[in-house]
Chain A
Amino acid sequence: MSKKPMKRKTRENLAGWMFLSVWVIGFIVFTMYPLFMSFYYSLSKVTLSGEGIQVSFEGFQNYRQIFSSTQGFSFLQSVGDFAFEILFKVPIITVFAIIIAVMLNQDIKARGFFRGIYFLPVIIASGPVINQLVNQGAATIPLVEQMGLIDFINNTFTENLARPIATIFSELIVILWFSGVQILLFIAALQKIDRSTYEAAMIDGAGAWESFWKITMPSLKSMVLVSVIFTIINLATFSENKAIAHIKNNMFALETGFGFSSAIAWVYFVALAIILFIVFILLRAFSKEKVRR
């Protein structure tokens, strides 16, 4: 072999892309191409027949239909509900995860046992399982129903407001079930805090309460962003989510079809992107505070 040896830089570049090649092929075939086609479908009338699939371009017709048909309205309604639910669920999940993480980070016995319990729902919480638990009334604390809380909510708020709030209370426990991974993320962040920081604070006369707000919380701030984004994505793609059910249901419906479904998928994505963007801006401002302090 009398090949001229390649430069190290070229060699590394080549080897890297070789290793990445399977992923690149997959990305092009199973992600980029479908992404492109999905957008194309959303601008087309797609009809299915015996011979296959006919696609004819028709501009923004599908998007107009979202804002002018009953199917479209009921989809938009569930996106609205979802956004509203996030407003409640994300803080509940995040605060709960932080509390549990802080408790598990103390020197306690059987930490592994408790950690195992709090993580368990991540393993079993599939759509159908949650669905069964909610439908058979095992998803909430019995007190909530016994005290007539749901009736109270239905009577006090307007219908649009009462529905999501009642959902949150009637599924309270399974909402907390979505915090398993977040608890571990916060524990990991807590373990990075140097113990001597607490000792130094104690010598300076800080109590447990002050230490928590001045040392523990600031070091969790960056993890809050990660955790919140994970939570939102997790909830947004959860199979029992009403909004994404519309995408699938409309695929084979007579009046709508693939084109319309693709369009609502894109609307859903844009809504999600807006939510994530707002959250990102808010939380970044929040975690910058500590630097300026």
Chain B
Amino acid sequence: MKMETKNKIRHFLLGKKLTEGFLGKFFLYGLLIIIGFIYLFPLIKMFTYSIKDLEDLVNPIVQWIPTKIYLTNYQTSFVVLDYWKTLLFSLSVTLIPALLQTVTTSIAGYALAKFKMRFKSVVFFLILLTYLVPSQIYMIPKYVLFNQMGILQTAWAIILPATFGQGLSSAIFILIFYQFFRMQPKVLDESAEIDGANPMQIFTKIGIPLALPAYLTSFLFSFVWYWNETYISSLFLGTDLYTLQLKLLNFSSQFNLAQGISQTMINESIRFAATILIILPVLIVYIVMQKWFVEGIDRTGVTGE
């Protein structure tokens, strides 16, 4: 009798497996929440600071909850960043290359997955090489090349390489599509071939519709990576064209340049407000499309077998 109650308590607390018992669950959820909080700490701090006015900012008592919601920081940042205009340009050098890169890499991935080709292993080696060799190596000749082509300091300098499958992390996307197309049943292609379809028709009528999840995931990642890229774009876009990220990078000088802003000291509240404005577009995309991001990696089979 006594033994039984003891066992019951033990089962209740510890369970048979790690997560079955109350203690295990408590511990697990607790840990996940605490680590999650630490993980998001920079974001939380950024947000609370962005709505503080100067008084709250210097007041040591006011830490986490500002005494009032002060939105002037956002207004100021909005003007400094020249938000709508810059956003439009940012989108043109993120959405367009992302879209074109997705199309090209999908065609390349399809070729590698579906056809018996000579030198296929060489192509794979080269694709891996483009991933492993840092883009800094070919940045300078590209700069010279784009200058000769007259597309330096235009959006084309970003769009053109993407169009030909040499954009940001193109190699990863080719491999994603390769894995995905390889998993498609061959029977479908074969029956279409018997019905007289040519490879192009098979690709557009069977390949693409069945691979829509891979397309969406690749496009989303491509978009986000282009959005966050600044090293290459700052070189190719020069000193006149700014994406939102580049404006943030040069926030102090942008602040001094901005018209109609009193040239007071920039404080961290304004900087944080600007940072939030810059992550906002991708944040919204992420909130809406979250499951395509996190499940995408699984679903596209990039993790390999």
B275 with A129: CB separation less than 8 A? yes
B144 with A106: CB separation less than 8 A? no
Bound Cα distance A20, B124 (Å): 12
Bound Cα distance A66, B32 (Å): 47
Q: Quick one: which of A20, A128, A208 contacts B111, CB cutoff 8 A?
A: A20
A26 with B118: CB separation less than 8 A? no
Interface size in chain B (residues, C-beta < 8 A): 92
Bound Cα distance A136, B267 (Å): 9
Task: Enumerate chain A residues within 8 angstroms of B134, measured Cβ to Cβ.
Answer: 233, 236-237, 244, 265, 268-269, 272
Instruction: Tell me, rounded to whole Å, the shortest Cβ–Cβ distance linking B146 to chain A.
Output: 10
Q: Quick one: which of B203, B248, B297 contacts A188, CB cutoff 8 A?
A: B297
Task: Enumerate chain A residues within 8 angstroms of B19, measured Cβ to Cβ.
Answer: 106-108
Counting CB contacts under 8 A, is A63 at the interface? no
Q: Which A222-248 residues sit within 8 Å CB-CB of chain B?
A: 223, 226, 233, 236-237, 239, 244, 247-248
CB 8 Å contact bits of B102-114 with A (1 = contact, 0 = none): 0011011011101
Counting CB contacts under 8 A, is A185 at the interface? yes
Instruction: Tell me, rounded to whole Å, the shortest Cβ–Cβ distance linking A239 to chain B.
Output: 4
Instruction: Tell me, rounded to whole Å, the shortest Cβ–Cβ distance linking A223 to chain B.
Output: 7
Determine chain B's interface SS by DSSP, over half rule: helix
Counting CB contacts under 8 A, is A76 at the interface? no
Binds A, one of B68-76, B224-232, B257-265: B224-232
Known A30-B142, A123-B224, A173-B41; further 6 A-B contacts with Cβ < 8 A = A13-B117, A26-B164, A34-B138, A34-B139, A124-B43, A258-B140
- Give 12 CB contacts A-B under 8 Å: A16-B112, A20-B111, A22-B163, A23-B104, A26-B166, A30-B160, A108-B25, A112-B294, A123-B279, A123-B285, A127-B249, A247-B140
B residues neighboring A (CB under 8 Å): 16-19, 25, 28-29, 31-32, 35-36, 38-43, 45-46, 49, 104-105, 107-108, 110-112, 114-118, 120, 123, 126, 130-145, 148, 160-161, 163-166, 174, 199, 203, 224, 227-231, 234-235, 245-246, 248-249, 251, 268, 271-272, 274-275, 278-279, 282-283, 285-286, 290-291, 293-294, 297-298, 303
A residues neighboring B (CB under 8 Å): 9, 12-13, 15-20, 22-23, 25-27, 29-31, 33-35, 37-38, 41, 52-53, 100, 103-104, 106-108, 112, 114-129, 131-133, 136, 138-139, 141, 173-174, 176-177, 181, 184-185, 187-189, 191, 202, 208, 223, 226, 233, 236-237, 239, 244, 247-248, 251, 258, 261-262, 265-266, 268-269, 272-273, 276
